[in-house]
Amino acid sequence: MRNPIKKFARASIAGLAGAFATGAAAWAAQPTPWQKWHQPAASPNMEEIIWFDWYTLWFIVPITLFVVALLAIVAVRYNAKANPEPSTTTHNTLIEVVWTLAPVVILVALAIPSFRLLTTQLTPPQNPALTIKATGYQWYWGFEYQDLDAEIAFEARPIGSEVVAGSAEAAQKEREDSGKTDLAQYPRLLAVDNELVVPVGQTVRVLVTAGDVIHNFAMPAFGLKMDGIPGRMNETHFTATKEGLYYGQCSELCGIYHAYMPLAIRVVSEDDFATWADMASDDVGAANRALMATLDEQKKKIDVASKSAEQTSN
């Protein structure tokens, strides 16, 4: 009988060496308390979105300050007490030209990079490395890998929620059965039994649909947000640039348990993905457990190596 953990370990030697050379991998990316900005970008699309946000702020902040300053000036200088005899001016050609042309220039400056970003997000990849069909249901996701040698299809359901499980004891048992008791890595309302596994650095095309009502496939770290509509097939894509476990949620109100419909994507090395896919064609649960064990072992080795390097440098 083959040992899946040893098989993963052999396939992961090259990936471990690369991770050590570039620093510890991003083992998790998820929302944080009082988060006021985006999650760290883990795809080129998300990097473009964050850049565009900062770019837009350079326009919004000066405009807002300018308008507030004008309002303050008008309120102080031209109120009835300070200016008992109001002006009879009806128009000013220069001002009218300026406040017509200035917004046009600003909108053009915003539109050009905006259209470029939309084109990047919505243009289908010509040769994706992987195509996955994601189907939203009340209230879980179904995934089908469509272009692998072996057929892989599974469902991703939330775990660790007493509302879904029925009791706190049942929720805890779900976590224990899945080996996901660490709330820091598998947080409440975000943890699932089977994550979507994809290779790092490869373009993944996602075909999004739904089996009952409208859902939405949203992954903040990748800049993804695509409606899944019954009877239609929408398309989106991403290229993950960092290994790790990333969380999103259904972003379309889809019923009473909408808040309990998380989405989790685990990005791994190409070797780990190939090994996982080989095992997942037979048993997705066993493949996931073996992958988790291997990644935990890799992290421990990287942490030990990092501490050793720090001690040596000190």
> Please, which residues have CB within 8 angstroms of residue 178's CB and are 6 or more apart in sequence?
159, 191, 193
Residue 157's pLDDT is what?
A: 93
CA-to-CA distance for 51 and 120, rounded, in angstroms? 14
The predicted pLDDT at position 16 comes to 38
Please give the DSSP secondary-structure letter assigned to residue 192: B
What pLDDT sits at residue 8? 46
CB 217 within 8 A of CB 230: no
Interatomic CA distance for residues 100 and 19, integer angstroms: 54
pLDDT of residue 252: 94
CA pair distance 139, 112, nearest whole angstrom: 39
Rg for the chain, CA atoms, rounded: 26
207-219 pLDDT per residue, tens = 999 999 999 999 9
Mean pLDDT across the chain, nearest whole number? 87
Strands 203-210 and 196-199: unpaired
SS3 content of the chain, % helix, strand, coil (to 5): 45, 20, 35
**Whole-angstrom Cα distance, residue 60 to residue 135?**
38
Task: For residues 135 and 130, give the distance between their C-alpha atoms in angstroms, rounded to a whole number.
Answer: 16
pLDDT of residue 82: 82
Structure confidence at residue 27 (pLDDT)? 52
Intervals of the chain under pLDDT 70: 1-28, 314
Residue 155 burial class via C-beta count within 10 angstroms: exposed 0-12, middle 13-18, buried 19 and up: middle
Alpha carbons 247 and 254: distance in angstroms, whole number: 19
Distance (Å, whole) CA 136 – CA 142: 6
Chain centroid offset of residue 264 CA: 9
Which structural domains are found in the chain, ordered by start? 44-83+91-122 (no CATH), 128-309 (2.60.40.420)
Amino acid at 225: K
pTM, two decimals, is 0.81
| The residue count for the chain | 314
Distance, in Å, from the CA atom of 33 to the CA atom of 149, rounded to the nearest integer, reads 42
pLDDT tens-digit map of 120-170: 888 888 889 999 999 999 999 999 999 888 889 999 999 999 999 889 999
